Amino acid sequence: MPAKFRYLETGSHDPYYNLAFEEYVLTEMPDADHLILWQNDNTVVVGLNQNTLAEIDLSYVREHSVNVVRRSTGGGAVYHDLGNLNYSFICALDDTRDAMKEALTRPVVEALRSLGIDASVSGRNDILANGRKVSGTAERVWKNRILHHGTLLFDSDPERISGALRTDPEKFRSKGISSIRSRIGTIRPLLSRDMSIAEFRRYLLTYITGGDTLPESLPESALERIRALRDGKYATWEWNFGKSPQYTFSNSVRFPGGRVEVRVDTEHGRIRDLAIFGDFMSLMPMTELLEAMKGVPFERAAVLAVMELYPTDLYFHSVTVQEVLSVIFPV
């Protein structure tokens, strides 16, 4: 873990702006390691490769004016409100991804333990407190840098969480848990001394940085580019919902590394369009791979030959190529 982080704040509760801010720091500020603490108001954040309409309760989202935004990292959909605190570490990738993930998760877990909470890492991307999930984490690799971010459910509304998200029954069945509400917990009731989320934020910042740290300011030119990225990407229907292809074949399978859903449109035995959704822990977009699949014969060997040309370990991470192929070609 880097010895020193430069601390930034977004100054906003707008989810579209906050994710644009995070991406700008990752891709345009490579000369330092950064920590960002930020909050979104009333938002469902879906994973990079998820089918948005399959992950949200659209009627609930519309009725309660819930924002919907797609992040640039893999994993599953989560609900944010002002009772939730998000953290982002953005730094040089100077070790293996798994080692970096462990190093960047550790200070958060240790901060919770220092507050008297029985915190631990569980599964592929969860932090548990007294056995309940209070944080989900995800990563993205950009060149030689890594973004590792996560949620901290401090005092969020469980009714909103369960209402806005359309849960995958198979996901909870595989964990032996009956519902999303029974699995998720919050941090505040577990504290030996009550504090507000503002106090919790200050405590976490001090614990991670080792002292009182003031946020650095970005120049207006950077903020203008962040606003442009917000409006041109993160606030658009194309990014957040997108167009699923008309398809002649679809299939979905849950693996230990996450759910994979495939939709394929074929014409004259060749792939005309291909979409791959899921909550697997993708580390980068698979845009180039999906584009390369167009026109390829709809045959296992032909599809595998194309996949072998691309960094599938970054696209699917803990889901193997053979598992993905088994969804596309189930027999």
Top pLDDT among 51 and 321 is at 321
Per-residue pLDDT tens over the stretch 243-286: 666 778 899 999 999 999 999 998 888 999 999 999 999 999 99
Span(s) in the chain for CATH 3.30.930.10: 6-240
Buried b (16+ CB within 10 A) or exposed e, 272-301: bbbbbbbbbbbbbebeebbebbeeeebeee
Per-residue pLDDT tens over the stretch 8-60: 999 999 999 999 999 999 999 999 999 999 999 999 999 999 988 888 888 88
Q: How far apart are CA 89 and CA 73, in angstroms?
A: 13
- Helix 300-307 with 321-328: angle, nearest 10 deg: 140
Top pLDDT among 329 and 158 is at 329
Confidence of residue 1 (pLDDT cuts 50, 70, 90): low
Span(s) in the chain for CATH 3.30.390.50: 249-328
Q: Is 173 buried (19+), middle (13-18) or exposed (0-12) by CB count in 10 A?
A: exposed
> Which of 122-126, 145-149, 171-175, 182-186 shows the lowest mean pLDDT across its residues?
171-175
For residue 181, the model assigns a pLDDT of 45
Per-residue pLDDT tens over the stretch 91-112: 998 877 777 888 899 999 999 9
For residue 241, the model assigns a pLDDT of 87
Per-residue pLDDT tens over the stretch 147-178: 999 999 999 877 777 778 875 545 434 443 33
Confidence of residue 222 (pLDDT cuts 50, 70, 90): very high
Answer CATH for 6-240 from 1.20.272.10, 3.30.930.10, 2.40.110.20, 3.60.40.10: 3.30.930.10
Kindly indicate whether the domain formed by 249-328 is annotated with CATH number 2.40.37.10. no
Confidence of residue 85 (pLDDT cuts 50, 70, 90): very high
Q: In whole numbers, what is the pLDDT of the chain averaged over residues?
A: 89
